[in-house]
Structure 1
């Protein structure tokens, strides 16, 4: 059952990510249909993230009360209905509103799903489980790119959106029959207990020191940089391949699929490597923090090479390896945040994912402005946007590796948790 639950969550994330990817795949026809400039397209591309972060925190925190299964089911149902509303889009303002509402429906999905995965998988296997879940988005690139591009070319982008809504309803029906959590004992929490953390009233004075700690701050910043790359790849990468590499729409679709293959292999292998390290030494900092931070630095360095070589093969290799390594942030950062305050798993996971999604709001717009200011030299505008992403990944990857150590927080918490458990 745990693998069936994980498969449905991965399929849900596939739909979530494919919904964002369509905007990139359909960039040219939408811009032509509504006569949009690069700046306007950047606004439309980032609209899905306007409410994403706010609703993400509220929804994921609410899942701690109502249950992750109910919250996940509601989101899948909600966005499936909205995706059918693509036929009502008639211009830029309606497109922006439509994307903003979709973002609100999808906002809490990833943190809530990560919290749900914590119920079904033991600590030493959560990295692989989270990797499989996150790879739902990569499969969306692998399988969805040529399929969606073909649908857009032959049937229009509205039909492509509606097809995702239909698939969402199928997932929703299957989700109804899944239990909230396992009906067997033995899955341990991060502290090695066989039961849930004792629930207690939320106290702001105890929470804000965690929020202002170096572990939290640099976790949020590296997540922000990673998300900037992810959103750039969804909104602008297809246009990069058609405008800079000069591929046809069909060629672009297959290039994105090739990137998806590399991404899945790289992210799965690096997650498995992190899991094996943790199983062997039980050192959270070495196996989770250092592996993640190093991956972000490597991603930034190889991305910067794109400004020196604008070839199709090299771009596929760099994006495949770079984005694949950066996916580790989506896998590990929620675990790091949950480790800082385990009894508020949904809230902590939502904080990092929602902060990451701020990059989704401003990233597409800044790229649009960079392209607009570059005038006819579109290649220069894209190069500047890539270098900006690379610099952020290297800088925050180094700071993350140097200053994040959740084990210090856990060692501080252990006496209090043991005392609180004995009282219960």
Structure 2
């Protein structure tokens, strides 16, 4: 069954779980911060309560974004496998430290180190995908591991809610540390290698397929990704996407509980559903990107859908409809994130994929500002989410406008690819 397809086992499976548990580590805080004991134990109360909550994600994403810059260089030097194992050990230790935190300052320190450790996730996966998969299956390869990006938080919302209800908030962090130590690290040690040429159990026929190039691809001139203006448009789009994604995902559980009066159980259900929406958009866009060869057009449509869903959430009188619209808005940005990672591979070479992904990962810095600004705006407006959502709509509109400038060249490339040497379009 695996003959000729072992790359999916050796690479896609480990990085699926890499993101599955990594995203629970990163975004599970959105569930944990709704626990009153967690807030009281670490002193997050008073008139600046929401700003303090937002600062947790703000400081994490600052460290996460900055570390993307140096992790990209490290990956190109050491390889994706060693870098992944190193980062996994770092963030496993931070989960233990977070569970032992007794003050707000100690917990903030744990989030800084977690951000530094997890900053290698995007560059590592960009490097693996660039090295291990044929150019014709990049969309599917990306979506296979990005599925973990959304299934993780969807499952994590349920897991963390149950752990906190059964034990306490500290146990949530110890559980996450155990998952990394017992599941993810062994997968990278025993299954992965930096390149398919290094793997002792890969057949020559599969290696030949991975390295096969299309005639059009082989004829393309080699240029640095920094010389392609579309890379920088995608980079700006990722800035907006990070602002939107972190702003919605971090505050969604609180929005449901405090603004829409959902019970904790109902909040968990809507939150998990929202992550499944994101997974759906990832899978659909992975298929459509390979099928249509128009990822820029797809990203343009997704940004417009985000603005529409956020607007609907503001005007919806029914709490369930408002919550679902917020979840759908978050889901569309999951699709944008997937397409952005596809662009990393498209605009770079296997030798520069780590740096291209690292620079793209730096855009997460704006996600931290989003979570903090939304918290500050809530404090300033007496807990109202309205002004924050309007700010998110503006961000989605900017992303939509940016991608419009990529559509013409993308259409020309598709036409050229479908035109044989005799000039007859097929």
Give the CA deviation at 1:51. 1.4
Task: Tell me the equivalent position of 2:276.
Answer: 261
CA contact 2:51–2:372 (8 Å) conserved in 1 = yes
1:78–1:310 CA distance, 2 compared to 1 (3 A): farther
| Alignment CA distance shift 1:255-1:341 (3 Å) | closer
The equivalent position to 2:337 in structure 1, one of 312, 315, 330, is 330
Q: Distance in 2 between matches of 1:50 and 1:410?
A: 36
Deviation of 1:190 after TM superposition, in Å, equals 7.3
Q: C-alpha offsets along residues 100-136 of structure 1, whole Å, 9 cap, x if unaligned?
A: 1001000111222122112222222211221121121
Find 2:234's aligned residue among 195, 219, 223.
219
In structure 2, runs of 5+ residues without a counterpart are 1-5, 197-201, 415-426
Give the distance between the partners of 1:104 and 1:194, measured in 2 at CA. Answer: 36
Whether 1:353 aligns to 2:361 is yes
1:72 paired with 2:89, answer: no
TM-score (norm 1): 0.84
Structure 1 residue ranges (4+ consecutive) displaced by more than 3 angstroms after TM superposition: 188-195, 210-214, 337-341, 403-411
Q: Say if 2:277 and 2:328, in contact at 8 Å, map to a contact too.
A: yes
Structure 1 segment 94-109 matched on structure 2, within 5 A: 94-109=106-121
Deviation at 1:237, TM superposition (A): 0.8
Task: Note if 1:2 corresponds to 2:7.
Answer: yes
Aligned: 1:365 with 2:365 = no
Which residue pairs with 2:285 in the alignment? 270
The number of residue pairs the alignment matches comes to 389
Taking the aligned partners of 2:285 and 2:221, their CA distance within structure 1 comes to 33
Are 1:339 and 2:351 counterparts?
no
2:68 to 41, 47, 56: 56
Post-superposition CA distance 1:180-225 (Å, at most 9, x none)? 2224222247776999x999xxxxxx96xx6486423321221111
**Conservation of the 8 A alpha-carbon contact between 1:258 and 1:316:** no
Corresponding residue SS for 2:208: coil
Asked if 1:175 is matched to 2:188, the reply is yes
Structure 1, unpaired ranges of 5+: 200-205, 279-286, 412-424
Query: Does the aligned pair in 2 maintain the 1:297–1:398 contact within 8 Å?
Result: no
**Aligned match of 2:265:** 250
Q: Is the 8 A contact 1:227 1:360 kept in 2?
A: yes
Distance in 1 between the 2:215 and 2:178 partners?
41
Matches within 5 A, 1:245-324: 245-278=260-293, 287-324=294-331
Residues 388 and 213 of structure 1: CA distance in aligned 2, closer, same or farther (over 3 Å) = farther
Q: Could you tell which deviates more after superposition, 74-83 or 26-35?
A: 26-35
Question: Whole-Å Cα distance in 2 between the matches of residues 76 and 194 of structure 1?
Answer: 35
SS of 1:290's equivalent in the other structure is helix
Residues 1-150 of structure 1 correspond to what in structure 2 (within 5 A)?
1-4=6-9, 5-28=11-34, 29=36, 30-36=38-44, 37-150=49-162
Are the counterparts in 1 of residues 75 and 123 from structure 2 also a CA contact under 8 Å?
Answer: no
Structure 1 74/404 Cα, relative in aligned 2: closer, same or farther at 3 Å? farther
Contact 1:49 1:361 (C-alpha < 8 Å) held by counterparts: yes
Provide the alpha-carbon RMSD of the alignment. Answer: 2.7
Which whole-Å CA distance do the structure 2 matches of 1:59 and 1:403 have between them?
28
| Residues 310, 177 of structure 1: alpha-carbon distance in 2 compared, 3 angstrom cutoff | farther
Distance 1:190 1:51 in 2: 38
Q: Which stretch shifts more, 250-259 or 100-109?
A: 250-259
The DSSP-based 3-state class of the residue aligned with 1:236 is helix
1:187 aligns with 2:210: yes
Note the alpha carbon deviations across 1:305-330, whole angstroms, 9 max, x for none: 11111534313432343222211222
Aligned position for 1:384: 387
Give the conservation status (yes or no) of the 8 Å contact 1:150–1:250: no
Between the aligned partners of 2:212 and 2:63, the Cα distance in structure 1 is 32
Check whether the contact 2:126–2:344 (CA below 8 A) recurs between aligned residues: no
1:62 CA drift (Å) = 1.4
CA distance in 1, matches of 2:139, 2:164: 35
Using the TM superposition, give the Cα deviation of residue 390 of structure 1 relative to its aligned residue in structure 2, in angstroms: 1.7
